[in-house]
Structure 1
Amino acid sequence: MSNDAKVLKAEPASHGAGRPWYGNWRDYVVYIGFVAIFIVFAVLLQDRGFLSANNLLNILRQTAIVAIMAMAMSFVLSAGEIDLSVGAIAGLTSVVAGMMLMQYGLFAGVVSGLALGLLVGAVNGGLTAYLNIPSFLVTLGMMGIARGVGMWVSGTSPVPIIDDTFIFAFGSGNVGPVPVLVIWVAALGTLAHLALRKTPFGRKVMSAGGNAVAARYSGVNVKKIKFQVLLLTGMAAAIAGMLYAGRLQSGRFQLGEGDELSVIAAVVLGGTSLFGGRGTVIGSIMGALLIGVINNGLILAGLEYSQQLIARGALIILAVAIGRGR
């Protein structure tokens, strides 16, 4: 029997198999919640422009960057790990890419941003997979390091970005009526969904997170899988950082601050288990969209930032509670 066949055999059975959809409602909670909350805000905030085309496009733009990081986090959580450094990596990348862009041009700026994500992801993955340090602790430490390096190299000052091509391609452009950020989400989301659902790599990720011992006996290199998924989040966070920089036309170490909480909440709300072995990219995108709608509605309703933080924290607790029931 081939290794891929063994992985398929070892993969945990799908939850809810053979049961009607209403028998496993938690699988659909993100869609139910999105529709319900959208309707509530549409009714309560119709006089404040919630349903206007500009506001709906703003929700998509605000959601897109978190959604990109959530796609990669789907792989990490499915493999039984976690990455708390994504927001800080995004901020550091925006600074480094902006500085390189200003000094050496577009190509150097983009390559340096991607290389930084690759490097930080490799450090996170290596320490977790090969030195057996819990990913929670590794990425918590990396969050502080990335934030501190970003402050240090930028002198806590914004790095201006004036390259029109970079600004268009990374966040501020539109192709017809469609924001470039939405195109990024659609392209990367399609690739991530196919990778998780239709490839041997995706099956190995699920197997490693569902039962690492069984996966090893089935021929899966669990350490390599855990290294690769953390490498993936490093790259996704770097792309997110450049999208932040292009959208805001500056690199700032503060960009992405707190995003790790929104990303994890989006992924768990979307149907990925916080404890490994189960994941969905489409659900994670929907979870990010749900959080974007909530944030936008709370702003239009006039809530202060502190109150928005309370709502976000409550949402994370709800996400974990639902995740335990899956």
Structure 2
Amino acid sequence: MTESSSTTVAAAAPPRARQLVSQLLQGDQPYMLYVAFVIMLVVFSAASPHFLSFDNFLNIGRQTALVSIMAVGMTFVIIARQIDLSVGSTLALSGMCAALAMAHVYDSWLVGAVAGIGTGALVGFINGVLTTRLAIPSFLVTLGTLSAARGLAMLITDTKPVIITSDPYIELFGETTFLGIPAPIAWTLLAIVIGILLLHFSIYGRQIYAAGGNPTAALYSGINTRRVTTLAFVFTGMLAGLAALVLSARSHAARPDVVQGIELDVIAAVILGGCSLFGGRGFILGTVLGSLIIGTLNNGLVLLGVSSSLQLVIKGAIIVAAVAFTKR
């Protein structure tokens, strides 16, 4: 290689690196997220001697795993100018189906995984079809499936929990470690990587930005906006199913009444991460950071002895503030 050609390659490398970073950090003001997160770490570290420890950070990672996994999918839905209020109920129903499949079909982690993720995908497909084909606002559709999925989860077992006896299932999704990383955090990282590849490095990602940013222009440019939106709901349902596997494995059982209200945390994480409720804008790493901010806030408030009711008030105020910031 000649000296001039090597100089050209060296000069081309930094722009490519900058392009990669810009694709991952597509928020208008991503640095505000990092500043807010650092300030929160400093405040809680000064207020509680137990906050700044490796074990506590692992606890935060475990505690935010469910929200982070589902928030990755919710990012796609909100970028498409929709919303999914049913993710918590989808998680509960998916967990019940996974446990029942292993109890009555075959006690295998693979059967449970297929049943759980498949149930989530089915609920997401129903949400997507009703929203796009019948032109019903996704808020109303998912409000209905929120109630229906939760009711079905209670109905199929008469509100009783289903014990999980598959040790490989419990180990794989709840208790083992991958290269020293606890299973819930490892599955969260996998969901994040898949979300980044789909949203920022695929044709589908460009289509969903177009469909959410300007649906009419996207339609006239040849994008099947119905299919793109439906797939966003399906992907969100699948990740809700994955979150159900993680939760049921950690609990050694599936319960129909779990994680009620978790959709509040999921939506808060996505909006805090820079995703616009009006569609067309958002990025995965921002969503993850938003989830970590919510998880760190919960963890810090618990260490400081703040009541659970006040925690709900604070999280609600954060959502309102984030939406107000988004409209500016």
TM-score between both structures, scaled by the size of structure 1:
0.89
Q: CA deviation at 1:176?
A: 4.8
- Write out aligned runs for 1:219-298 (5 A): 219-298=222-301
Q: Tell me, yes or no, if structure 1 residue 148 matches structure 2 residue 151.
A: yes
Which residue of structure 1 lines up, in the alignment, with residue 75 of structure 2?
74
Q: Distance in 2 between matches of 1:146 and 1:30?
A: 34
Distance 1:90 1:273 in 2: 24
User: One-letter code of the match for 1:237?
Assistant: A
Instruction: State the Cα distance separating 1:102 from its structure 2 match.
Output: 2.1
Deviation per CA, 1:100-122: give whole Å up to 9, x if none: 22222123222111221121111
Instruction: Provide the secondary structure at the position in 2 that maps to 1:155.
Output: coil
Q: How far off its partner does 1:254 sit? A: 2.0
**Corresponding residue for 1:54?**
55
Q: CA deviation at 1:188?
A: 1.8
Q: Displacement, 1:38?
A: 1.1
Q: Is the 8 A contact 1:167 1:249 kept in 2?
A: yes
Secondary structure of the structure 2 residue equivalent to 1:127? helix
Q: What are the superposed Cα offsets for residues 59-93 of structure 1, whole Å, 9 maximum, x if unpaired?
A: 00011111010111111111111000001100111
Q: Which runs of no fewer than 5 residues in structure 1 stay unpaired?
A: 1-16
What's the secondary structure of 1:111's corresponding residue?
helix
Superposition deviation, residue 256 in structure 1: 2.6
- Once the two structures are TM-superposed, the CA of residue 52 in structure 1 deviates from its matched residue by 2.3
Q: Distance in 1 between matches of 2:187 and 2:227?
A: 27
8 Å CA contact retained: 1:88, 1:144: yes
Q: Which of the numbers 86, 107, 114 marks the counterpart of 1:105?
A: 107
List 4+ stretches of structure 1 deviating above 4 A: none
Identity of aligned residues (%): 42
Aligned-residue offset at 1:269: 0.7
**Letter of the structure 1 residue corresponding to residue 281 of structure 2:** R
Matches within 5 A, 1:1-326: 26-46=29-49, 49-103=50-104, 104-106=106-108, 107-325=110-328
In structure 2, what residue type is equivalent to 1:286?
Answer: L
SS in 2 for 1:154: coil
Which 5+ residue runs of structure 2 have no aligned equivalent? 1-21
Does the 8 A contact of 1:241 with 1:255 survive in 2?
no
Aligned equivalents of 1:264 and 1:323: distance in 2? 13
Question: Is residue 26–residue 322 contact of structure 1 (8 Å, CA) maintained in 2?
Answer: no
Amino acid corresponding to residue 175 of structure 2 in structure 1: S
Q: Distance in 2 between matches of 1:171 and 1:85?
A: 23
1:126-170 residue CA offsets vs partner (Å, 9 max, x unmatched): 000111111000000000001111111122222111211111111
Superposed displacement of residue 271, structure 1: 1.1
1:188-229 per-position Cα deviation (integer Å, ceiling 9, x unaligned): 211211211111100000000000011111111111111111
Is the Cα–Cα contact under 8 Å of residues 44 and 51 in structure 2 kept in the other structure? yes
Distance in 2 (alpha carbons) for counterparts of 1:30 and 1:165: 38
Q: Does structure 1 retain, via aligned residues, the 8 Å contact 2:30–2:286? A: no
Higher alpha-carbon deviation: 269-278 or 109-118:
109-118
Say which is worse superposed, 208-217 or 311-320, in terms of deviation: 311-320
Maintained 8 Å contact 1:29/1:269: no
Equivalenced residues, count:
302
Q: Which moved more, 1:286-295 or 1:310-319?
A: 310-319
Contact 2:28 2:274 in 1 (8 A): no
Spell out, residue by residue over 1:262-299, the C-alpha distance to the aligned partner (whole angstroms, 9 max, x if none): 11110111111111001101110111111000000111
